[in-house]
Amino acid sequence: MAATPAQVREVIGKYMEAWATGNKELLLSIFAEDATWEDPVGSPAFVGHEGVAKFWDFARQGADEGRTISPRIDQVIACGNEGILRFTMQVRVPAQNQGLDLAVVDHFVLNDAGKIVKARAFWDESCAGVPAGMDFFAPNIEQAYTQ
């Protein structure tokens, strides 16, 4: 039986909770073993739990040095077994007075087991903003593939 819009909303909620709390295990639990994740769309996909974990590790690097990641939900749309999440990922590096507000639109497809089988993040340089009083923080996505 296909995932329902209610399940899609629940998975998106867990996705945001994982980012907000730094819970890698929670994030991995909502992805299928064979999932693909393009972030951003057009870049090579991260594949399976190993790929999802690799992207997580890249995005969360620096957390032990004070870097924070705080997602702010703007909108969730769930139709059938698919969902759209519009949110802003707020990244702060207080020690260097750097920050990034990245407006993102994520598209998720869930399998019959209610796990994310396909995730695609839509954002480009026009989606990046600098918080007032801070310098621009620009992560190098290429590093996610070489770690």
pLDDT of residue 142: 67
**Extents of the domains making up the chain:** 5-146
Query: Which DSSP category does 65 fall into?
Result: G
CA distance 146 to 76: 32
Given this model, what pLDDT does residue 147 score? 59
Q: CATH says 5-146 is which class?
A: alpha beta
**Residue 108, phi-psi category: left (phi > 0), alpha (psi -120 to 50), beta (remainder):** beta
Residue 60 pLDDT:
87
The reported pLDDT for the residue numbered 109 is 98
**Per-block mean pLDDT, blocks of 10 residues, the chain (147 long):** 94 97 97 97 96 92 82 97 98 93 98 97 96 88 65
Contacts of 113 (CB under 8 A, 6+ apart): 3, 32
3-state secondary structure (DSSP) of residue 69: strand
SS3 content of the chain, % helix, strand, coil (to 5): 35, 40, 25
- What's the CA gap between 77 and 74, in Å, rounded? 10
Instruction: Label the pairing between strands 82-93 and 68-79.
Output: antiparallel
Predicted TM-score (pTM) of the model is 0.92
Question: H or E segment at 76?
Answer: strand 68-79
